[in-house]
Structure 1
Amino acid sequence: MPKYRGASPIQSAILAGEKYSGVTSMLMDVGLDTGDMLGFSILGIGGMDAATLFEKLSVMAADLACRTLRNFYRIQPIPQLDCESSYAKKITKEDGLVTCKDAATVWAKYLAFIFWPGIYLQSGLKLKKIALVEQEARHNVCEILAVEEACIVVGCGKGTIRVYTVQSPSKKAMGAVDYIRGKRIGVGDILA
């Protein structure tokens, strides 16, 4: 720890499919998050979105900061292994673009970018609320496979997602079922 250093460590952990994340207290050093570790706390993150993870990690960080300060003079600093770290780049709006080639990637981006920038298709249609159905079946990219009561089922090159809420550019968010009805598209058509 910390494995991801830089502007977006939480989102990077989600995108990489990490099973665990956490917080680390460390001494200041010349490099980016390279100081000796004073303490750390770890949390299982499977399926957690960035908003939930930020909240849980902030509580853990506050507790860790208090423990570190209380025990500062008794702590033996532990050098970090730089070979186990990577740089977490600044997130841009373009990072939210999804191609629907792989459902697992769409799902990871949805979880990671729930705050900002969100996820959207090449057409600019934002996928505001989705769920991962499965990760193996092969489909035409963005093909509408089924229309259910509260959502539409959309195929990816590999895998399937459910889309509950969408938002067209400069419009209000709406249910995906209402959106496709308004566009007069349905099963077999491409969501765009």
Structure 2
Amino acid sequence: MRIVFMGTPNFAVPTLRALHGAAHEIAAVYTQPPRKAGRGKKLQASPVQKEAEALGLEVRSPETLRAEDVQAALAALEPDIAVVAAYGLILPQKVLDIPKHGCLNVHASLLPAWRGAAPIQRSILAGDTVTGITIMQMEKGLDTGPILAMARTPIDDKTAGELTEELAEMGAQLMVGTLRDLAIHRPIAQDDKEATHAPKIDKAESRIDWTAGARAIERQVRAFAPKPGAWFELDGERVRVLEAQVIGREGKPATTLDDELTIACGYAAIRPTRIQRAGKPAMDVADFLRGKPIAAGTRVH
């Protein structure tokens, strides 16, 4: 098929690579423009742009898809279909109507659950046991279009980072299979009554509230690992928790219960096992405590 691919972050790269490997004709790759990032705030191309250039594909980075000249340039490609994976820009109806077979989206949830920008994090935070990938025919609404295919995976104790990598690979293979068998896939309408929503993560959500239960905090740690990182303050210093265990002990919330940095929660306790201090590399808590012992009874914030 003649495909226009639209994606931006690492999550989208396996799908682009798989489509290219499946010998589809990729007419162009659309991705968000380079953004300033890193300590030097230098412009950096998106992961999708880097992959597309490595594959020798044409890259287009419009600021918006609403401009008439941008839409005309897309239409001139005469695509059979558009494949979208975490692109980050709204596709107006005029754009959705351009490809002969419409636009298919790789979405990281089992729709209609977790429509929106942060389905992986929201699923972990909610305590879901299963998540997956949905291939969806795009329409004007936010992740409301009919479903063509699904694949599931258990969440277990995976972090958002681990799930993102797993689902990205699942989505790539599912998309290739869906395109191969497109003629026999019958779109199934979503039940809007079953929908849940996954709004973008607010940085304020990453601060740990020690009055919450330990299991909820442990899910918060996994949902925000590796970024933005669930965090607390210790001696005025911000400490990001990258891995943690639930410990069946009780105490005054936000107080350490021993010299292993076990911290009492509203119910039970959390023992961070891997942390990152501001401006420092990630490290195991055992190594941190060898250089900075924390006595039982210490308050954290």
TM-score category of the 2 structures, normalised to the smaller one: 0.7 to 0.9
Task: Structure 1: give runs of 5+ residues left out of the alignment.
Answer: none
Q: How many residues align?
A: 185
Aligned match of 1:126 = 239
RMSD between aligned residues: 2.1
Report the equivalent of 1:159.
Answer: 268
Deviations 1:81-119 (A, max 9, x none): 111111211112211110122211211111011032101
Match of 2:167 in 1: 57
SS of the residue 1:52 aligns to: helix
Equivalent residue for 2:253?
Answer: 141
> How much identity, in percent, do the aligned residues show?
32
CA change 1:171–1:131 in 2 (3 A) is closer
TM-score, normalised by the number of residues in structure 1: 0.86
Divergent runs of 4+, >6 A = none
Deviation at 1:173, TM superposition (A): 5.0
**Match in the other structure for 1:112:** 223
8 A contact 2:128–2:155 mirrored in 1: yes
The corresponding residue for 1:99 is 209
C-alpha distance in 1, partners of 2:175/2:242?
A: 35
- The separation in 2 between residues aligned to 1:56 and 1:133, in whole angstroms, is 25
**Aligned partners of 1:130 and 1:55: how far apart in 2?**
17
Structure exhibiting the larger radius of gyration computed from Cα positions: 2
The answer on whether the counterparts of 2:133 and 2:171 sit within 8 Å (CA) in structure 1 is yes
Task: Assess, with a 3 A threshold, how the Cα gap between structure 1 residues 166 and 68 changes in structure 2: closer, same or farther.
Answer: closer
2:245–2:272 Cα contact (<8 Å) kept: no
Paired residue secondary structure (2:232): coil
1:15–1:51 CA distance, 2 compared to 1 (3 A): same
In the alignment, which of 66, 69, 80 is matched to residue 176 of structure 2? Answer: 66
Higher relative contact order (CA 8 A, sep 6+): 1
- TM-score, scaled to structure 2: 0.57
